[in-house]
Amino acid sequence: MRNKETITDWFKNLQDEICLSLEKLDGASKFKEDNWTRQEGGGGRSRVILNGGLIEKGGVNFSAVHGTLPEKIQKALGFSESTFYATGVSIVLHPKNPWVPIIHMNVRYFETESINNNQSTYWFGGGIDLTPHYVDSSSGQFIHQSLKRVCDDASPDYYPRFKKWADDYFYIKHRNETRGVGGIFYDHLNEKKEGLSFAQLWSFQQNVGQSFIPIYTHYANQSRDKAYTDENLHWQKMRRGRYVEFNLVWDRGTKFGLDTNGRTESILMSMPPQANWEYDHQPAEGTAEAESLKWLKKDLNWIDNA
């Protein structure tokens, strides 16, 4: 049975579990929590970790907000005047070592109810994607294998469908490159559209959320002790610049948060601590940096590529 309080409590617990796991993995820093309230209704817990042994800057945010759906969003969704309730967890981690990738996850629940006719709808959305600063043929294998298992447990068409959705969504159109090696992305999942029960969809959402720590632990432990140079750090900042460009220009979550008068500090916690932009920067042919750019394409088969 659908119950927003049960869903909200699970997301709060997920935030707790992930923060504890990341503190243990980092080994040097702890999250600082900032509780906030939204004037129009609801609030959240923003948690940020800084200058750790592994994570230079990371955020794990929980929110549960409600109110009247802004007219701009009503029109975009094709809704009449409605109220809304939205809750979920959002994560972005920017590692210290440039050989360790940036990772992002969002798992969320959204429901609306028409003010005039009491019609209501709900959906789940979210996903996980990986943004390595350095990319080769094996960079996306583990995350895609892991997410395919999660998807296959729910539906055989979920992985190819949501992998494609991620490739298309996490695409920096003005650069003609993907943000990273992708992962999965999905939205508007409910019983009517998917032909699955609420319990099945909720189980899928929970499994996505719980896959985050094993995935990130794999990539962190794989490269956290690898030596790096000033040149590697320079490239890391250049790629962080691309991350900023996507989040500020194309990301729907950023736009929704700002359009619903969300908390700016929490919305922009995904920004890296430092990023660089250089005019027409072109890495030298044959370098690891130039090789990385060759892999930032849609529709690559990461599972069998390595």
- Per-residue pLDDT reduced to its tens digit, 121-179: 899 999 999 999 999 999 999 999 999 999 999 999 999 999 999 999 999 999 999 99
> What pLDDT is recorded for position 114?
75
**Is residue 118's pLDDT more than 70?**
no
CA distance 175 to 51: 30
Place of tokens 């969320």: 108
CA distance 70 to 73: 5
CA distance 194 to 211: 22
> What pLDDT is recorded for position 149?
98
pLDDT in tens, 73-116: 767 666 777 788 999 999 999 999 999 999 999 999 998 877 77
Helices and strands in the chain, H and E counts: 12, 9
Of the two residues 219 and 112, the one the predictor is more confident about is 219
> What pLDDT is recorded for position 82?
77
Please name the amino acid found at residue 75: K
Of the two residues 135 and 253, the one the predictor is more confident about is 135
> What pLDDT is recorded for position 265?
85
Look up residue 111 and give its two tokens.
């429901």
CA distance 174 to 132: 19
pLDDT in tens, 26-79: 999 999 999 999 888 999 999 999 999 999 999 999 999 998 877 777 676 667
Cβ proximity of 127 and 101 under 8 Å? no
Per-domain residue ranges for the chain?
4-305
**Is residue 199's pLDDT more than 90?**
yes
Give the rounded percent of residues in the chain with a pLDDT score beyond 70: 95
CA distance 304 to 306: 6
CA 285-288-290 angle, 5° bins: 40
> What pLDDT is recorded for position 183?
98
**How sure is the predictor about 252, in pLDDT bands with cuts at 50, 70 and 90?**
confident
Look up residue 22 and give its two tokens.
């990341």
Helix (H) or strand (E) holding 86: strand 82-95
> What pLDDT is recorded for position 102?
98
CA distances from 23 to 48, 69, 222 (A): 11, 36, 18
Reported CATH class of domain 4-305: alpha beta
**Is residue 260's pLDDT more than 80?**
no
> What pLDDT is recorded for position 76?
67
**Is residue 212's pLDDT more than 90?**
yes
Cβ proximity of 133 and 288 under 8 Å? no
CA distance 143 to 172: 21
**How sure is the predictor about 253, in pLDDT bands with cuts at 50, 70 and 90?**
confident
Q: What 8-state DSSP symbol labels residue 270?
A: G
Please name the amino acid found at residue 153: D
> What pLDDT is recorded for position 140?
97
Question: What's the per-residue H, E or C state across 11-72?
Answer: HHHHHHHHHHHHHHHHCCCCCEEEEEECCCCEEEEEEEEECCCCEEEEEEEEEEEEEECCHH
Exposed/middle/buried for 118, CB within 10 Å: 0-12, 13-18, 19+? exposed
> What pLDDT is recorded for position 38?
87
Look up residue 71 and give its two tokens.
């007219």
pTM: 0.94
> What pLDDT is recorded for position 305?
72
Catalytic (active-site) positions: 104
> Strand 32-37 relative to strand 42-50: parallel, antiparallel, unpaired?
antiparallel
Count of alpha carbons within 13 Å of 223, Cβ hemisphere only? 18
> What pLDDT is recorded for position 95?
98
Cβ proximity of 120 and 112 under 8 Å? yes
**Is residue 197's pLDDT more than 90?**
yes
pLDDT in tens, 266-287: 888 899 999 999 999 999 999 9
